[in-house]
Structure 1
């Protein structure tokens, strides 16, 4: 008994001594940790989010305040939470670790109102393709990626990798297009529609130089002026915040290559970025197999592009920048004698200073193209014309905004741009000779907007006055005296109103009404165009298109189900639309002429949806029904009731993304379209189609990603045009590639 007591006494003393010491005196020193927080787009903490390393191993789970800790040696983390899009974050030493997760279709975006609004509060129908969605699209070209949005289509269904640039006009809201877009495309507030023809060079920018793309559907001339009848497509440039290097390279069918590199450096308040890319494909023969002849060869493109920018920060969000980009491409257009090329230089400088945004920009373009006539049976061809179209553009824009109290924001702005261009042709048919037309165009506008955001309401009222003029137009010919083309000018007022009412946190109603316009381009006024054996004559008496429209609908954000739905009914009427009217048709050729038609209308319903029923699956897509017809034309009443060319009544898209930290990502992309017509007389039917694309990728560590993609997996024959010979869309194409990422995001 005594022995047990003597043994227990020192043990009791040791326990008492241990209890009296501070915890850190006897605990094993803990490894150093990095603290972080996970929040949503509105700053609210997200609890129970999983923090994983790049191998998929769990590092932490966020607390009720969104906080978490990871080992200090961690460099890259993946953060996932139910009903949120996953995020990959690079940890930068000395920088607060704050991870923002976003729900599908609920990002904070810059809408057509030029003011930051959540999509649920915006009267405008907006679709955003962020960096991940752009990467996971199977298509190489930007227009191919944007086709995931229902209602987006080029003048013809073919990819810009094989299409003549003069057919790359954008159609939104079922309004169609000719060679010219009825929608405006801007890059960091600088318009990038072709200065001479209004079409879009979709491979102009390096793939890695683009951070995101926002599509705003519905008229927006109240803030953007000409061309924004169907909507605005805003391309946001990549702006790395740290030193980094990103490389993309892929190779696939049709000898298709896609290479791009982006590097950035930061020194104090200075930062610089440079990006370059090269896209090439041997393409394919567009003419349907049963109609081909010895003269038919592949349509293809070989191009290089580059982008460079230097920034100087003056505060958290204030900066001054200088930027330049270049495009150099050559195309073959389906026969040995037809081709075209573009060399385009753009430059811009500007500042974002407090509430003021300033842009000064310009471009210099040289475009050339050859034309031919093809004999019956497509056994031979003869060169008919060679054209060069140099163009220069200078522009300036500024806008200023100022909050007034807590619920009012006012905005004012002005912009101007001047285009000087010419069409210089060498004629080989008939008597031959030369033909040259020069002209100048200028647009200047001022605008203002008031945005009210009282509780549960968003109310916008805006208006813009534009003065457009076309002048100094002369036509020189080797066979006739110089002709002075008529000068004309127009002053246009375009207002817009929009209202959104949140009934609950998850349901909002919206409505908007607008007027918009589009001025004719020099290409429409003075240049003869040709695609295949379809020739379109110019018309120097064209005047601007005027549009009136409205839309209404609702958006739901069912957070518990991780889904979002937006439904809109839209109606747009365009007076004096510029249309290519058929003059004559033969078995081998069609001749058209540009005219101001009486009136067209497009009315219909659009649906956008997104859902994340589980952490590993995300679904997104949409549908558009557009009843787009000619409603008035006194000169040719037989056209009334006809469908607008190249507009299908039914279009639908769907994307399903499956992700697993260890297995990687698989994205399936479906696109379907009903039948449409290729001409104003509705004689040439283009049948509907269904196409399936796929993209898969897997990360090998922090720096390497391997991927594979396939377009038109079931090799469907997609009819894209009848000129009057039937042409087909891209066949099945598979690609394999890799991405290398070093440094910050």
Structure 2
């Protein structure tokens, strides 16, 4: 385990170095961007959806996961956001390839994977929209420079550059349920580079997740209290070459339904990146992540503590080197290596729901790693661009163990699992044909894979009354997919896109029912998802309209112990999802917008015993400038107070975000 001292020293180094360098740099002719390398000519063949900064800064909830829901087909394991969900359930996926809480979508922030090294969930509460310039979502399997884990797609989050950031920014909001949201940021030029620091604090008494008709005296509001602070610095090394540093500290505390059902997550992340935009383009990246998680489970019958997952430390270390050599005007070659190492373990105490005393103590954990080489080439032939890439990954799962002892010290289990290792190859090919200036056709085929997380391998968990066992023998998930689509611009300011897709996820990891209120993680033969995705954008002067729709028909193919799932729909996989946002911007600082989101019915469980009904919600956002630097802002979430069911087991139901009003002020100085 990397020691706390080493983590702290590295974080201090990456935070301090760029500022010192920038102060030494005095060349005013060198301009830095703070970005990575540009898209290649072949990237559009795989289709993507862009979310711009205007949308990032005008979301009613102010939360990144709800903005990502603008891309129809994006989903977390449950419908709750990061105020009322258990953090370990906040995996991200696309194309109805759900079924468990781990991320099947690779989420990157400035090239750094954001998934928790142990659980695979995304710390959404630590990723604040105002720190970003844009988001690009590419659905479908990825490889090449995307790395392992992108079986459902890739979400690329890009930090705001100097032109996006005011010298000083401050916002303060007050909302329903005694909620508050405070954020502040400072940005300054340092030589030819810049440095920015920002912080945010969110807290609230929350809302009752249990319906009023079934609420118990022990039910409490889903209170939350989280904070994060980030520092980013960019400095030139030479003309066209820049050094980028980023540091992030965060902590998140939540209470879920019952008094004492508290969870927490925290992290200390740092990364260093060198980007060369010269004739030989280079993107070299290294990062470290230190994370922890705690969780207390309360019985829904005795209302006593039954499990205290009191400590789950984990560490992620990795990096990437991508090189784009000058190979000629018709070709664009990218090649490189990447690696990611994860380690973690859990410490938990099991309690009797009757006596409230500890009955057992558990300790489990292990290591996993991927080491990869990749190459991809784009070939432009007039209006036709062909692209193809291949990668080879060496993966390892090592040092796995599970130990359980009674309170008197008696060993109940002391399992040491065999190390595993293998090679996994993946590839993708695509074609983009630009028929006219306003019409392009694209097609792609790809494979990909995802390593099971340490959480899936070694950590059992309970969402009362259902207990789910881990499975140290899980196989790697492997995806094969094809898609075809077009993008058309029928008029100035209007764009439309459509994609047909077929994805098959072999050895998909699911929570398989093996007994009454008992499940175990296991590999089903496959999850097959096929469907269509539509997107549209239009700009009419000061009015813009954007929308998307996804139809996903997903089925499980299963045999053996999981044969009862054959032909069923994967858990937490809606067939229909749609959204639309209308925004009116009469001036630079005045905004009025409304967003509608629809999610179709989906099954809570693998056996289709419990249905979560469809939900249609509406949000509103309004901003009125009071002075050149101050704006009054109002936000409304779930305007019609739609009942959104997020969990259902028998008669036990949890609800999502109700109607919430926000009022606040924004200050910005340049």
Q: Normalising to structure 1: TM-score of the pair? A: 0.81
Q: 1:350 aligned to 2:273?
A: yes
8 A Cα contact 1:300 1:333, kept in partner: yes
Return the offset for 1:532: 4.3
8 A Cα contact 1:205 1:306, kept in partner: no
What corresponds to 2:52 in structure 1?
130
What corresponds to 2:609 in structure 1?
683
Map 1:610-689 → 2, pairs under 5 A: 610-612=537-539, 614-661=540-587, 664-689=590-615
The alignment partner of 2:455 has SS state of helix
Return the offset for 1:315: 4.4
What corresponds to 1:513 in structure 2?
445
Write out per-residue CA displacement over residues 149-182 of structure 1, whole angstroms, 9 at most, x where no aligned residue.
1111110111121100111111201211412011
CA change 1:691–1:279 in 2 (3 A) is same
What corresponds to 1:19 in structure 2?
none
What corresponds to 1:423 in structure 2?
346
- Whole-angstrom CA distance in 1 between matches of 2:430 and 2:644: 39
CA change 1:662–1:193 in 2 (3 A) is closer
Q: 1:435 aligned to 2:362?
A: yes
The alignment partner of 2:55 has SS state of helix
- Whole-angstrom CA distance in 1 between matches of 2:415 and 2:600: 46
What corresponds to 1:468 in structure 2?
395
> 590, 599, 623: which is aligned to 1:697?
623
> 596, 619, 629: which is aligned to 2:523?
596
CA change 1:314–1:727 in 2 (3 A) is same
- Whole-angstrom CA distance in 2 between matches of 1:176 and 1:166: 15
The alignment partner of 1:384 has SS state of strand
The alignment partner of 1:203 has SS state of helix
CA change 1:243–1:637 in 2 (3 A) is closer
CA RMSD of aligned residues (A): 2.2
> 418, 423, 448: which is aligned to 1:491?
423
Return the offset for 1:662: 9.3
Corresponding pairs, count: 625
- Whole-angstrom CA distance in 2 between matches of 1:391 and 1:305: 19
> 714, 723, 734: which is aligned to 2:661?
734
Q: 1:292 aligned to 2:194?
A: no
Map 1:118-267 → 2, pairs under 5 A: 122-241=44-163, 244-267=167-190
What corresponds to 2:248 in structure 1?
325
> 423, 427, 445: which is aligned to 2:372?
445
Q: 1:372 aligned to 2:298?
A: yes
- Whole-angstrom CA distance in 1 between matches of 2:207 and 2:515: 29
CA change 1:392–1:658 in 2 (3 A) is same
* Comparing 347-356 and 628-637, the one that deviates more: 628-637
- Whole-angstrom CA distance in 2 between matches of 1:698 and 1:304: 27
Q: 1:534 aligned to 2:466?
A: yes
Map 1:537-616 → 2, pairs under 5 A: 537-560=469-492, 562-585=493-516, 590-612=517-539, 614-616=540-542
8 A Cα contact 2:45 2:444, kept in partner: yes
- Whole-angstrom CA distance in 1 between matches of 2:79 and 2:61: 14
The alignment partner of 1:322 has SS state of strand
- Whole-angstrom CA distance in 2 between matches of 1:529 and 1:387: 13
| Gap runs ≥5 in structure 1 | 1-93, 96-108
Return the offset for 1:628: 0.6
- Whole-angstrom CA distance in 1 between matches of 2:195 and 2:145: 31
What corresponds to 2:435 in structure 1?
503
Q: Normalising to structure 2: TM-score of the pair? A: 0.89
- Whole-angstrom CA distance in 2 between matches of 1:243 and 1:697: 18
Return the offset for 1:289: 2.1
The alignment partner of 1:638 has SS state of helix
Greater RCO (Cα-Cα under 8 Å, separation 6 or more): 2
8 A Cα contact 1:645 1:680, kept in partner: yes
* Comparing 513-522 and 225-234, the one that deviates more: 225-234
Write out per-residue CA displacement over residues 191-227 of structure 1, whole angstroms, 9 at most, x where no aligned residue.
1101100001101134432222211111113432322
- Whole-angstrom CA distance in 1 between matches of 2:39 and 2:144: 17
The alignment partner of 1:404 has SS state of coil
> 451, 454, 460: which is aligned to 2:381?
454
The alignment partner of 1:176 has SS state of coil
8 A Cα contact 1:204 1:327, kept in partner: yes
Return the offset for 1:117: 5.3
8 A Cα contact 1:698 1:707, kept in partner: yes
The alignment partner of 1:136 has SS state of coil
CA change 1:177–1:281 in 2 (3 A) is farther
- Whole-angstrom CA distance in 1 between matches of 2:107 and 2:489: 29
* Comparing 487-496 and 205-214, the one that deviates more: 205-214
The alignment partner of 1:122 has SS state of helix
Q: 1:709 aligned to 2:638?
A: no
Write out per-residue CA displacement over residues 376-395 of structure 1, whole angstroms, 9 at most, x where no aligned residue.
xxx73343334311111211
- Whole-angstrom CA distance in 1 between matches of 2:49 and 2:240: 25
